[in-house]
Amino acid sequence: MSAEISLEEVARNVNWYTEPSQLLGNVNLFLCQVMARGSADDIIATRSRFSWDEFRTAYQQAPSGLFSKGAWAYWGLMLLNDPTLPPPERFPGANLFDWRSAK
């Protein structure tokens, strides 16, 4: 990393539709977006300012649909030593409902 990246730059890199100050106001969402979308430089810059515990908390409270399967497994391994955790469900219990059998 040649020059230190500011958190505002990282926020712009990982979320192009929200103002950096607004995203940085929601630390868990910011950290999740860094984990899901950040480059190596983004992760290094963010990690220098946030603890592993903060990353772990954000991961455990992640919104559904943000992480790819690969990113979810990677961060599960890195933060909790478990790459097999299921990602958050967008509609919990929805897979239990079979619309074809509904009347």
**Per-residue model confidence as pLDDT tens digits over 39-91:** 999 999 999 999 999 999 999 999 999 999 999 999 999 999 999 999 988 77
In this structure, is residue 95 part of a structural domain? no
| DSSP 8-state symbol, 65 | T
Classify residue 27: in a domain, yes or no: yes
Q: Does the residue 25 lie in any domain? A: yes
Q: What is the pLDDT of residue 1?
A: 45
- For residue 26, being part of any structural domain is answered with yes
Residue 42 in domain = yes
Total structural domains in the chain?
1
pLDDT at res. 90? 78
Structural domain including 58 reads 7-82
Question: Considering the domain boundaries, does residue 100 fall inside one?
Answer: no
Confidence of residue 94 (pLDDT cuts 50, 70, 90): low
Give residue 43's pLDDT. 97
Assess if residue 89 is contained within a domain: no
Where residue 102 falls among pLDDT bands split at 50, 70, 90?
low
Instruction: Tell me the CA end-to-end span of the chain in Å, nearest whole number.
Output: 60
| Per-residue pLDDT, 84 | 93
Q: Is 87 within a domain? A: no
> pLDDT digit string (tens) for 1-54?
446 899 999 999 999 999 999 999 999 999 999 999 999 999 999 999 999 999
